[in-house]
Structure 1
Amino acid sequence: MCMGMVGLQQIILLTGNGVINVNKNRFGKIGIFLLLKGVRMATLLFAICLISFLLIKNSPIDPIQAYIGADMLKVGPEQREKIAEYWGVNQPVTVQFLNWGSALLKGDLGTSMIFRRPVSEIIGERFLNSLVLMMTAWALSGIIGFVMGVVSAMKKDTWLDRVIKWYCYTLASTPTFWMGLLVLIVFAVWLRWFPIGMAIPAGVLAEDVTVLDKMKHLILPAITLSMVGVANVALHTRQKLIDVLSSDYILFARARGERGFTLFWRHGLRNVALPAITLQFAAFSELFGGAVLAEQVFSYPGLGQATVEAGIRGDVPLLLGLVIFSTLFVFVGNLLADLIYLLLDPRMKEGRTI
């Protein structure tokens, strides 16, 4: 009896130590992973900042002329020199980059030449509008794409499968701005179901705008982004589920009489959900790029429209701030995708048999 209790205690201690070691290894692996990602993010940001700064400085757009605008003929050479000195654009490129970089390390993104306001405030305001648009389109494209991929795989080689594949291939080769113009013409001009553009009704005070008004102006841009983003998730989910359905354990489940939705729910969902979610998080770059075009088509006041305005009118501080922010946004999306795989995928866990 005593020998049995001693052996049982030893087993418990060994098992407990094994669990602790597994947890330590797992958290240590996540720490190393985050450290490497942090170093990669720092080097990426430095390269993006340097390349973007050089490209903007060597562009044909004159920031002083863009700043003055239509009153260019009324401004003399002395006034131009004072404006250039005020914004620091008369200094050598190296000095400008070092000054801008040192201010950036302190958290100062500069002042917008168009809006005459701090760049951080403009990005914060515009990001709220873009975030609602992108998250709505992101959720719709993920859900609709996943459902379409599952249905296409379950109905493989049928007319429904061919229709879904044709739809996805067509959308995958469709530019976002063209789809936005088509949606705008059909639903806003011809049918008049939704407003033509903007985020709120024109001529209405901000305090008089309701949530329903904002939702009406959000629907068309969100539909445009979600329609374009459906294709990748649907096609990837379809192929992954087809591979799962052809595996040996699925054949065994079918031999036991499992069919249709029950078969997918018990054996297919867990194998295709994680890759679909990871792909959706990794698509942040495409989502942000599509939002730039969609916001321009629908005159939606988000980060995309601000980027176009800053590029056309030569607003160097605002454009550089938007480049940095978009880089961080895309990097965070890819980081979340990698973390999901690291935390949830059983193949990435060490010592799971202990």
Structure 2
Amino acid sequence: MSGKRIWKNVGRYALRFVTLLIAISIVSFVLVSLSPVDPVQQYVGAVPNVSMEQREKIAEYWGLDKPPLERFFLWAGSILHGDFGTSLIYRRPVLDIIGEKFLASLALMLTAWAFSGILGFTIGCIMGNFHGKWPDKILKKLCLTMCSIPTFWIGIVFLMLFSVQLGWFPMGMSVPKGLPADQVTIWQRIHHLILPALTLSFLSFANIALHTREKLVDVLESDYVLFARARGESRFQVLRRHGLRNILLPAVTMQFGSFSELFGGSVLAENVFSYPGLGAAAAAAGMGSDIPLLLGITLFSAVFVFVGNLLANIICSIADPQIREGFDHET
């Protein structure tokens, strides 16, 4: 690929990125502005002795007394200068909260991402390799069932089974309750991470498994695989020599494309397990009408999903010359 083509692709992705952020900013701000929840009332809570003058001062301090269009341009101007505002709930800058919460969520999402990829790819290979037989039928029904089950329900079931009844895992949180952060061991963090990560992985592993199954069935029914079987190659030799190399790329593409599902599912999983991540902060911001934090997390999630999809495209273009050629000639 020539240098001119590289810069052309970079410019195209940069234009898409900027356009996406502008669209997300406008849509999210309009939706927040149309919310029936009064931010001032949410801020003062149940305090009965707040006068109308004090409410007006609070609204003026947060800029809520201005028209929506003026508020949007003030907020957008602050964003361009790197100021995402101050959270009404945490009383801290929004960027500080996003950075702190995202580290916890990143560990959860990466673990769930690895679980879903390994589990989904393995089950997909088993189903495709035993196409039409009882392992394929049982696992396919299981995957179709998992696609329709909500994440929060799976989390509640896991809590009841593995935490309450069996006692294998803690009830929630990312660290033991009441233990100072400098005394928490790596094993304790992993112990608290496994159950919510496993719950979150169930959000996308079934789709990966079903997608891998379909691709593997297509490969195993091809002429060159039939010829390999005629030469005496066993089922697992065919899978290792011909199947895996042809289904790995589609599986990787779908795995990177599942970033958006993981980010959305983390909101439910973190609330079920009281995990102090970005998803729990987004839910708290929505319930508490914390507009600066909610808008900041919305923009950050858009960046996160865009980067995940971009990584998938880059990996596919590196691994498959035909895809790279298609990107080069894209207009």
TM bucket, shorter chain = over 0.9
Shift in CA distance, 28/143, structure 1 to aligned 2, threshold 3 Å:
farther
Q: CA deviation at 1:350?
A: 4.2
The aligned counterpart of 2:321 is: 346
Q: CA deviation at 1:339?
A: 1.7
Quote the RMSD (CA, aligned, Å): 1.4
Gaps of 5+ in 1: 1-22
Measure the CA separation in 2 of the matches of 1:93 and 1:153: 54
Q: Which amino acid aligns with 2:28?
A: S
Measure the CA separation in 2 of the matches of 1:31 and 1:169: 43
- Structure 1 residue corresponding to 2:11, chosen from 17, 25, 35: 35
The aligned counterpart of 1:198 is: 173
Measure the CA separation in 1 of the matches of 2:45 and 2:157: 33
- Give TM-score scaled by structure 1 length: 0.89
Deviates more, 1:45-54 or 1:32-41: 32-41
The aligned counterpart of 1:153 is: 128
- Structure 2 residue corresponding to 1:238, chosen from 213, 228, 233: 213
Measure the CA separation in 1 of the matches of 2:90 and 2:174: 19
Deviates more, 1:28-37 or 1:164-173: 28-37
The aligned counterpart of 1:88 is: 63
Q: CA deviation at 1:75?
A: 1.3
Q: CA deviation at 1:261?
A: 2.2
Q: CA deviation at 1:70?
A: 2.5
Deviates more, 1:118-127 or 1:251-260: 251-260
The aligned counterpart of 1:109 is: 84
Q: CA deviation at 1:167?
A: 1.0
Measure the CA separation in 1 of the matches of 2:206 and 2:321: 27
Shift in CA distance, 28/167, structure 1 to aligned 2, threshold 3 Å:
farther
The aligned counterpart of 2:235 is: 260
Q: Deviations over 1:87-140 (max 9, x none)?
A: 111011111111100010111111101111000000001000100000000001
SS in structure 2 of the partner of residue 337 of structure 1: helix
Measure the CA separation in 1 of the matches of 2:9 and 2:126: 36
SS in structure 2 of the partner of residue 314 of structure 1: coil
Percent identity over paired residues: 55
Q: CA deviation at 1:28?
A: 4.2
Measure the CA separation in 2 of the matches of 1:46 and 1:328: 12
Measure the CA separation in 1 of the matches of 2:309 and 2:8: 17
Deviates more, 1:256-265 or 1:214-223: 256-265
Q: Which amino acid aligns with 1:55?
A: L
The aligned counterpart of 1:282 is: 257
Measure the CA separation in 2 of the matches of 1:31 and 1:239: 37
Larger Rg, first or second structure (1 or 2): 1
Gaps of 5+ in 2: 327-331
Measure the CA separation in 2 of the matches of 1:78 and 1:211: 51
- Give TM-score scaled by structure 2 length: 0.95
Measure the CA separation in 2 of the matches of 1:121 and 1:51: 24
